[in-house]
Structure 1
Amino acid sequence: MDATNPRLAVEAVTRTFPARGRAGPTLALQPTTLSVAPGEFVAILGPSGCGKSTLLRIVAGLDRPTAGSVTLAGRPVTGPGPERGMVFQSYTLFPWLTVEQNIRFGPRERGLPEAAQREIAARLIARVGLRGFEGHWPRQLSGGMQQRTALARALANDPAILLLDEPFGALDHQTRELMQELLLEVWAADAAGARKTVLFVTHDIDEAVFLASRVLVMSARPGRVKADLPVPLPYPRDWTVKTTSAFGALKARLMGEIREEVRRAAATEA
């Protein structure tokens, strides 16, 4: 990781949600600092409610920190922008637009000529394996196909960073594994120096180890980064990497880290 020239820098970010009813303010994030180098694939792993999705929403500009700062390529993040492509767990395609029209949405909003929009859509449709479905409506697609479309839509603006918030969490096990492999294929298809920077939130340890070059482990709420572990598995990867001793060793360590936080959270709530 190039710590001297990060693509993303999160500096002492905190988030406190205001009081609701009789409940007082909720501290969701303790001061959190992290950086992601250009082309890195970083997974954020942690127990439920630890603030990992809140952190991702702050990076996306969909929420604002109570304190601290976020910069992308040296520029402050103050709101949403096309330089950040976002994929959510829920299916967020525009139901009134076809597959092609959903993917063309960002380039169209940027004012690109129609021919350029169609070229971008055609290239990405081929890349995510949706040829033949260009004219389908979201309701006609399976969950996996909807998330393929969402991934292509996020890539259509050629963002500086791709932000994924448990994008495969609603899929069945087999489809989820196929989507993980697809995401890695799309990411690794570019030359190493041109790969997208990725920040991927998940609660699934296997998924984090399989996909990422680094895994950040967050503590129970209020969240903070408690561990930053490299993944010593070369790319390209396929499902067989999950049977290796290196995969198993890192998974075991991460399981220990997460179990410790889950127990701490349970003890706090008791």
Structure 2
Amino acid sequence: MKLNIVPARTGITWVKLGCKTFFQQPLAMSGLFFMFMALLSIATLVPFIGAALALALLPAATLGLMAATQEATKGKFPMPSILISAFRAGKQRVRAMMVLGALYAAGFLALMAVSTLVDGGQFARLYLVGGKITEDMVLQGNFQGAMWVTMALYLPLSLLFWHAPALVHWHGVTPVKSLFFSFMACYKNWAALAVYGLVWAGVFVMAMVLVTLVAALLGNPTFAALAIFPVALLMMAMFFTSIYFTFRDSFTDTDVPADQQAA
């Protein structure tokens, strides 16, 4: 396995490829993303361990979307069963993916525990258990502090796990090593990932502005309220489609079969 260092402008290419691939198979990619969301939502309903279970499933579910993107790049229609690709790769890799999921859940719950030191657990309870969010709650300094602490701690956690599911599934890397390689790949390609994130942020903002402008032209403010949520979901589906390309261009392995390498 070889780490590739890519130029900063590659971040723009990743966004373009994500959008292009999504529109090549819009029904499949959007449907799979909604199934992905539904799977995690159902997992949260399990008594007592729902939140932790959903977190543990996230790496495997994300890998499923990456595998769907890989199929779409080949001109194939990804079937719903591809979402569970991580659990159809043999006992050893299934076990490794389960370990990776457990590590992700533990890491996320740990950073939430740290946030409780700031506001006594108000933000953590709202995020993990749910509840009604009020204007007074959002304006509280402690609540905002807990939110920012969580965001700051989540950045290194996300870098550790950004490429890890794909490394475990496609390259057979052990869970702990996959975290190291993922972090190093993100560190070495930080410029491209920064551009990637900024471009996606701009795309999201432009989409929301466009919805607002259409609502204004129609003279129907209700349209914006109704359209923003589904538009945001479609944008998220495109974003998840693009994640595969950040991995594909960051690593190469001449030992894997040709059909598993970058298309």
Class of the TM-score when normalised by the shorter of the 2 chains? 0.3 to 0.5
Larger RCO of the pair (alpha carbons < 8 Å, separation 6+): 2
**TM-score, normalised on structure 1?**
0.32
Q: Larger % of helix: which?
A: 2
**TM-score, normalised on structure 2?**
0.32
